[in-house]
Chain A
């Protein structure tokens, strides 16, 4: 009798250990893979770990990372935001448009405009109870239409004056890294704190886990759902504005397919698409992984650049397959 009890408790302790390991691999796997890839790449390619290349990867990652930060909150809440690519482009165009009245307007106009689109998404999802997938698909079209409407059907590309403060923020460097990179790091630090240490963050996790349960617990489900989409609109708009400042022009054709990169980065970073679980730090690792893979393929040289998307797609499939296995194991 006693022996049986002991055996069961040992067995359950063993499963707990295995479960814990699986859960850990799912949450931190992207960081481990990223570290491995960086080590292998720096031994294989002389030019990989040079200052110029690292700066390059950092600045290329920063804009996607800011978009993916907002997307992380949306996906953790159980939703999805397909509109970020269009909103990103709109943010850039609005920044280039607003800068004629000064850098402050150039920064605020995209935030207000893109924040409004985020609020619209949030209102339709939270109050209207419409499917996030289809709501943000509609705003993907709508934001792109709005962008075309204010740029003479995409024919006008506004340039941003090089001596404006906003352009200098986009192009400047601090301690060797571009200022957008520092902004990205600060935003991610804030994102980590908000998700893990604030009531809002815990509420978002709860809503993603079970909306019904969160409602029954008396959490402000509607408000927080709205806020999540507002944040996503704001981050996408800010990323667009910074990218426009970096290139000193409001290019109208950017951002197509950006939503897919952002979703891929979030998922690779260990956030479950079903909502309720995920980390902000993992998303940063996911973004860096995508960009490092891209960079490595460029370094190989003999590989056609078309292989980039093949590898990214295959990588995404493998990651989600492993995640599905791990989350089953850790349950």
Chain B
């Protein structure tokens, strides 16, 4: 009896985000002009790419029953470092930005896994301090990017698909494979499901947690580089602002429970796409920003409500 009653809700929880996307795309195909054009598709995908890249790392962290609030500030740090080393060439500059992201992740991971601080506060410290650090690196200034290779990364295309989107797709595939087919992925999910049991079973809890936060930091740095390339300027004071919220939203709407023990990579992609689609739809129909925010708020609550059966037990 209960099982039958619960079935539609379970289905909605697992597939609701895909259903919502189908409905919204269908609505837009009928009612929105110039929706099904390659140009519009590219615009939407390019806009969602940095959020998605951050959300991939966030999904892993949330899978360990943690959260990484520092991602927006890590993006700013990466964006601030990039122009400082562009003189040595694009690759060394990007590499240094990624190393900076990894170091941020290492700090978070140490605070969470070794010191034993709750993830919210541990990463809150870097959220507060990281943006200040980025502004210190950049001397508080916005710097125009003139490096042709970096500009090409932001605006160029391969077979009609922007590089930025290709990077996001590649990273999605990598994270998907990581979760599904590697020992690390299995350990991560096990630790998120029950940390003490995993520790008793001899899993390397600290190492896996550290690695997860490092991955999140590196992905945030990639997003920072991508956002800088698209913006054609390094703007540490605003790049990545509130990205932590957008990323958490994408992950939660995509069906990854906040209580850990499960990572839905494709769901996260769908969650990011859905939020982007909602904003785009409202904007195309001349509804204001305020409406978009209220609708997003309602969708978050509905998504968490659907997951409740899992978390409440």
Report if A and B associate in a common complex: yes
* A interface residues (Cβ-Cβ under 8 A, vs B): 80, 124, 128-131, 133-135, 137-142, 144-149, 153, 260, 263-264, 267, 273-274, 304, 306-314, 316-317, 320-321, 324-325, 328
Pair A313/B129 contact, Cβ less than 8 Å: yes
Knowing A138-B297, A145-B294, A263-B124, the reply to whether A306 touches B289 (Cβ < 8 A) is no
| List of 9 A-B pairs having minimum Cβ-Cβ separation, nearest first | A313-B129, A309-B132, A145-B293, A142-B297, A148-B290, A317-B125, A313-B128, A145-B294, A306-B135
Would you call A310 and B311 a contact (CB within 8 A)? Answer: no
- CB neighbours (8 Å) of B259 from chain A are 131
Q: Size band of the B side of the interface?
A: 35 or more
Q: Is B61 an interface residue (CB 8 A)?
A: no
Instruction: Tell me the nearest residue of chain B to A152, going by C-beta.
Output: B288
Instruction: Let me know if A274 and B124 touch, CB within 8 A.
Output: no
Closest partner residue, chain A, to B241 (CB atom): A256
Q: Pick from A131, A144, A321: contact of B258, CB below 8 A.
A: A131
Residue from the list B118, B120, B249, B293 in contact with A148, Cβ < 8 A = B293
Looking at the assembled complex, report how far the CB atom of A263 sits from the nearest CB atom of chain B, in whole angstroms.
Answer: 7
Which residues of chain A are near B258, meaning CB under 8 Å? 131, 133-134
Instruction: Kindly state whether residue B170 has any CB partner on chain A within 8 Å.
Output: no
- B90 in the interface (beta carbon within 8 A): no
Could you say which of B129, B140, B245, B290 contacts A149, with CB atoms under 8 Å apart?
B290
Query: With a CB–CB cut-off of 8 A, which chain A residues contact B269?
Result: none
CB pairs A–B below 8 angstroms (18 shown): A124-B301, A130-B304, A130-B308, A133-B258, A141-B296, A145-B289, A148-B293, A149-B288, A260-B124, A264-B124, A273-B120, A307-B136, A316-B125, A317-B107, A317-B126, A320-B118, A321-B117, A324-B117
B312:A314 contact, CB within 8 angstroms = no
Residues of A within 8 A of B291 (CB): 145, 149
* Contact A317 B111, CB 8 Å, known A131-B258, A153-B290, A306-B132: yes
Residues of B within 8 A of A146 (CB): 290, 294
Main secondary structure of the interface of B (DSSP, over half): helix
Assembly CA distance A47 to B142 (angstroms): 33
Question: Which residues of chain B have C-beta atoms less than 8 A from A149's C-beta?
Answer: 288, 290-291, 294
Taking the complex as formed, is B31 at the interface, i.e. its CB lies under 8 A from any CB of chain A? no
Query: A309 and B301 in contact (CB under 8 A), knowing A129-B312, A153-B290, A273-B118?
Result: no
Closest residue on chain B to residue A133 by CB atoms = B258
Q: In the complex, what residues of B have CB within 8 A of residue A321's CB?
A: 111, 115, 117
B136 touches A310 (CB 8 A): yes
Contact with A along B109-129 (1 / 0, CB 8 A): 001000111101110111111
- A135 and B304 within 8 A (CB): yes
Report the bound CA distance from A138 to B275 in whole Å: 13
Nearest to A303 among chain B residues (CB) is B136
Q: Indicate with 1 or 0, residue by residue over B234-252, a CB within 8 angstroms of chain A CB atoms.
A: 0000000000010011001
CB neighbours (8 Å) of B305 from chain A are 128, 130
State the B residues within 8 Å of A (CB): 67, 107, 111, 115-118, 120-122, 124-133, 135-136, 140, 245, 248-249, 252, 258-259, 288-294, 296-298, 300-301, 304-305, 308, 311-312
A128 contacts which chain B residues (CB < 8 A)? 305, 308
Q: Is the CB of B293 within 8 A of A317?
A: no
Asked if A134 meets B300 with Cβ closer than 8 Å, knowing A153-B288, A263-B121, A308-B132, the reply is yes
Closest B residue to A274 by CB, please name it: B118
- B129 near A309: Cβ-Cβ < 8 Å: yes
Please give the distance in Å from B209's CB to the nearest CB on chain A: 15
- How far, in Å, is A215 (CB) from chain B's closest CB? 13
A131 to B130 alpha-carbon distance, docked (Å): 27
Q: Is the CB of B129 within 8 A of A310?
A: yes
A134-B248, A138-B297, A306-B132 given; name 6 further pairs at CB < 8 Å.
A137-B245, A145-B291, A260-B128, A304-B140, A309-B129, A309-B131
B248 touches A328 (CB 8 A): no
Docked complex Cα distance between A153 and B293 (Å): 11
Q: How far apart sit A314 and B297, CA to CA, in the bound complex (Å)?
A: 32
Q: With a CB–CB cut-off of 8 A, which chain A residues contact B67? A: 133
**Chain B residues positioned under 8 Å from A317 (CB to CB):** 107, 111, 122, 125-126, 129
The answer, among A148, A308, A320, A325, for a CB contact under 8 Å with B125, is A320
User: If A133-B67, A142-B294, A313-B127 touch, does A328 touch B301 (CB 8 Å cutoff)?
Assistant: no
